[in-house]
Amino acid sequence: MTNTKPLLKIRDLQIDGISDETRSRIINKVSLDLYPGEVLGLIGESGAGKSTLGLAGMGFTRDGCEIVGGSIEFDGIDLVNSPLEKRRRLLGSRIAYVAQSAAASFNPSHKIMYQHTEAPVFHRKFSRIDAETDAINLYRRLRLPQPEMIGFRYPHQLSGGQLQRAMTAMAMSCRPDLIIFDEPTTALDVTTQIEVLSAIRDIVEQFSTAAIYITHDLAVVAQMADRIKVLLRGDEVEENTTRSMLKSPRESYTKSLWAVRSFERKQKPPAKTGATPVISLKNVTAAYAKNDPVVRDVSFDIHAGRTVAVVGESGSGKSTTARCITGLLPPLTGSISFDGTALPPDYRQRSNEQLRQMQMIYQMADTALNPRKKIGEIIGRPVEFYLGLTGREKRQRVEELLAQIELEPTEFIDRYPAEISGGQKQRIGIARALAAEPKFIICDEVTSALDQLVAEGILRLLTDLQDKMQLSFMLITHDLSTVRAIADEVVVMKDGIVVESGPKNDMFTPPHHAYTDLLLSSVPNMDPDWLDNLLASRGADNIGDAAIEKMNKN
């Protein structure tokens, strides 16, 4: 392999982002070699410049970005200085792109097949008829249902996982030498993700296409890539083959990334039998529209000082359950009690004391904080509202709270939410919940919008606070590694029903309910052979949508 010429050669690439007055470096002197048939994984946290670098590999920069130095060469063709038309001829035909959100990247006005055959016909690679026959073969290979028919549907008629596979097929339509995968599975549920991963790997191997695989998920890149390059804020951290990178990372940043996954708190002993739970749901059924319940017959208890994780994929009803508890969506039937006394179903009928005891931390810290209020006001309001503190006392309490969430009080108290980072915003959200001095906090996907390192910090903070104040958490999440990290008990939900519930350790040891089993086995592992082993043990028909379909039949 080392004898052949590299297919893509990037040298000392520098890309600037320009907004209004400021110019910031997005990519700082990064070099890269990609040989034919090789898959390179690009990983890094948000803002690392991985997408920008990936697109630069196509000679393309988004609006507001500019190449200011370095060279990009694809198969000997200069992608920086060649005329526009010459570069354009390469796109789609020799270099293809698979975007993060297939649902948004397919044109809603055209059928899938039309979009598939567009590039080969436009670049005069194949005739429309040949391209269509080839598309059907690709669809079959990618295990899409009804491969002969599916191309003649509109994008909105397909599911997210199907669209992502159709997009991979579309990238293959001209048999390119290089495909850029830009976080192709990030927007998907775990059970769907695995299907797409195996499809992508299968097709890349089959046609020995070179690929750049961009992701923030280490376990995913471990399955896909031959080599891994780690980026941090536009700088290259290190690069190595996948196996040696996983086994022995050299740089401390990489080591810390690797270590994130090892955080796991020991499960607390179950609450005494007969103890009054802080929150208790009994046979709760709730609906947004009449006769169409989103949540059916849900019951579980949350005890003092414990964390109960409610796990499920999108549409499983976990957030709706939370809305029932907070009183935003009064349940149709069933009851919710707090410390043994039943709560009024509608939050407007609850007393301030009842409202105070139950707080919420939101997923999107951006929309959870009022952008027009200073941090001090945001945290100070519940202090004033519930505890009646004002003036000096209030400020003192706010400073204490800021110290508790490990932010320097004097530095943050007069800032606006727009002036702080995502992880800090999430901490402010926690402080606002703590300010009410509650017993019970609902954490709605609190880490899913954050980078792994930051997320880990938030999880550690939550567990520390829980130990100090005997808080009870309801942790809503789709991420099993978060569950493993801090939960004591787990409730698994699917289609509005509790499928299984119990202590965490039981949940992670077999035997499982079929759905829990599928969920658990679908979470990628850092082991590069994981996907192979899984496919060997379960078979390609027993993963993803296909498996769920089978389960529903039984």
Q: Which residues bind other proteins (CB under 8 A)?
A: 19-21, 58, 60, 62, 83-84, 88-93, 96-97, 99, 101, 104-110, 118-119, 122-123, 154, 156-157, 326-328, 347, 350, 352, 355, 360, 362, 364, 367-373, 381-382, 385-386, 432, 436
CA 281 remoteness from chain centre: 29
Residue 128, CA distances (Å) to 109, 110, 113, 359 in order:
19, 15, 10, 58
The residue behind tokens 């990064």 is: 30
Residue closer to other proteins by CB (options 348, 553) is 348
Residue 32: CB atoms within 10 A of its CB come to 20
Residue closer to other proteins by CB (options 71, 525) is 71
CB of 427 to other proteins, least distance (A): 15
Residue closer to other proteins by CB (options 158, 237) is 158
List of residues 6+ apart from 381 with CB closer than 8 A = 432, 435
CB of 165 to other proteins, least distance (A): 16
Bridging pattern class, strands 65-74 and 77-78: antiparallel
Residue 92, CA distances (Å) to 62, 108, 299, 501, 540 in order:
17, 19, 52, 48, 29
Residue closer to other proteins by CB (options 27, 119) is 119
Residue closer to other proteins by CB (options 19, 252) is 19
List of residues 6+ apart from 486 with CB closer than 8 A = 265, 307, 309, 459, 462, 463, 473, 475
CB of 60 to other proteins, least distance (A): 6
Residue closer to other proteins by CB (options 163, 199) is 163
CB of 534 to other proteins, least distance (A): 31
Residue closer to other proteins by CB (options 61, 285) is 61
Residue closer to other proteins by CB (options 373, 395) is 373
DSSP per-residue letters across 329-389: S--SEEEEEETTEEPPSSGGGS-HHHHHHEEEE-S-HHHHS-TTS-HHHHHHHHHHHHH--
CB of 536 to other proteins, least distance (A): 35
CB of 106 to other proteins, least distance (A): 6
Cβ-based burial of 186 (10 A; exposed 0-12, middle 13-18, buried ≥19): middle
Residue closer to other proteins by CB (options 64, 539) is 64
CB of 202 to other proteins, least distance (A): 23
The sheet carrying 497-503 orders its strands as 358-361, 440-444, 472-477, 307-311, 489-494, 497-503
CB of 16 to other proteins, least distance (A): 16
Angle of helix 375-387 relative to helix 391-404, nearest 10 degrees? 120
CB of 351 to other proteins, least distance (A): 8
